[in-house]
């Protein structure tokens, strides 16, 4: 008799990554519970509301599931107002681990971040032997470190098979933040200059490539328990300068490239002032504008990673190039009116 297909739970289903993952699972015929604070309205998936900071809600969410894809997180790179970030990113992850282990869930795949190893200095072709950052960088990165530690430790401490995927700068159709923000600023005339005069390389991850990696991680985790407790960097494997990426986006839109670069020290000082004003005005819990000290440091250091381990362990291979990903994203924005 053929075994029943296990139900997959996806947290953060209303977000960019979560929605793409749910849609791919539904297309493959997998029973999916799409969870978030509000119903994302994804056809073919069953919505179950869940605030991951509530343990009882997490227990109800994962009951009867075979795999949990933990995507939900709160992104914040300014230093002030960190409590909600920690409550969601670390506390929520601990709740899901506890609930999953108690409910007999088989596997948990965690969407982490390459920023867990970033310490404000260059990373060139970094691999999974890099230690976690020992110095605080931002509430997002710090809380993701704590969460990933717990995820990987749970593999040996419980009967739950766990692993972690570490993408870097995700973009693609449906992204409401990264590329749309670049294009809005370019159109308003406020994106004339980049930051940093050195050509520092960065990794980027097209959304479909990330979804491929998440599904491969779940498959391989089910096939081989020895792969549990591991983390993998997952990117496009095409490191380029951050501002070169921006200029490629602008070129694809038929817009002029950035004119030059603002020195790092000037940009960093301005970001520090901006963060201070935000804190004084009591706007710590609101959305960021992308101009923080962490963001400036990130743009002014090398941070690109080897994906050899993901290739070897998971069979991961980036299927969509950076330029093709940019083309698809802009085409989607034009078709859906996301550039207006």
Whole-angstrom Cα distance, residue 274 to residue 78?
10
- Which among 110, 118, 140, 264 is annotated as catalytic? 140
DSSP characters for 300-325? TS-EEE--HHHHHHH-----S-HHHH
Between 92-103 and 139-157, two packed helices, what is the crossing angle to 10 degrees?
Answer: 20
Q: Are 73 and 271 in contact (CB under 8 A)?
A: no
Whole-angstrom Cα distance, residue 145 to residue 162?
15
Handedness of CA 148, 150, 154, 157 (dihedral sign): positive
Q: Are 210 and 166 in contact (CB under 8 A)?
A: no
- CB within 8 Å of 62: residues ≥ 6 apart: 9, 68, 96, 99, 100, 103, 105
Handedness of CA 325, 77, 195, 183 (dihedral sign): positive
Q: Are 292 and 275 in contact (CB under 8 A)?
A: yes
H or E element in which residue 33 lies: strand 32-35
Q: Could you confirm whether 140 is annotated as catalytic?
A: yes
Which residues belong to the active site? 140
């Amino acid at each position: 008799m053929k075994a029943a297909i296990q139900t997959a739970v996806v947290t953060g289903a209303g977000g960019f990554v979560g929605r793409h993952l749910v849609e791919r699972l539904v297309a493959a015929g997998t029973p999916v519970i799409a969870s978030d604070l509000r119903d994302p309205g994804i056809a073919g998936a069953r919505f179950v509301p869940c605030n991951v900071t509530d343990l009882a809600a997490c227990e109800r969410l994962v009951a009867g599931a075979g795999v949990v894809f933990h995507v939900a997180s709160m992104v914040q790179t300014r230093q002030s107002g960190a409590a909600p970030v920690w409550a969601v990113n670390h506390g929520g992850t601990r709740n899901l681990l506890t609930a999953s282990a108690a409910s007999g869930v088989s596997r948990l795949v965690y969407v982490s971040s390459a920023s867990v190893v970033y310490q404000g200095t260059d990373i060139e072709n970094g691999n999974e032997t890099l230690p976690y950052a020992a110095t605080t960088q931002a509430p997002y990165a710090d809380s993701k470190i704590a969460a990933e530690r717990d995820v990987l430790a749970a593999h040996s401490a419980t009967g739950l098979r766990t692993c972690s995927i570490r993408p870097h700068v995700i973009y693609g159709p449906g992204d409401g933040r990264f590329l749309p923000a670049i294009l809005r600023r370019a159109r308003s005339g406020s994106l004339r200059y980049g930051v940093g005069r050195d050509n520092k390389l960065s990794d980027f991850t097209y959304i479909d490539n990330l979804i491929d990696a998440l599904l491969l991680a779940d498959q391989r985790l089910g096939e081989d328990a020895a792969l549990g407790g591991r983390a993998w960097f997952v990117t496009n494997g095409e490191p380029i300068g951050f501002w070169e990426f921006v200029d490629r986006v602008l070129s694809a839109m038929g817009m002029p490239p950035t004119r030059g670069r603002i020195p790092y020290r000037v940009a960093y000082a301005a970001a520090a002032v901006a963060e201070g004003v935000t804190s004084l005005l009591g706007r710590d819990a609101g959305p960021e504008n992308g101009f923080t000290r962490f963001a400036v440091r990130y743009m002014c250091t090398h941070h690109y990673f080897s994906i050899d381990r993901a290739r070897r362990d998971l069979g991961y291979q980036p299927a969509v190039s950076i330029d093709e990903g940019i083309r698809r994203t802009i085409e989607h924005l034009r078709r859906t009116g996301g550039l207006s």
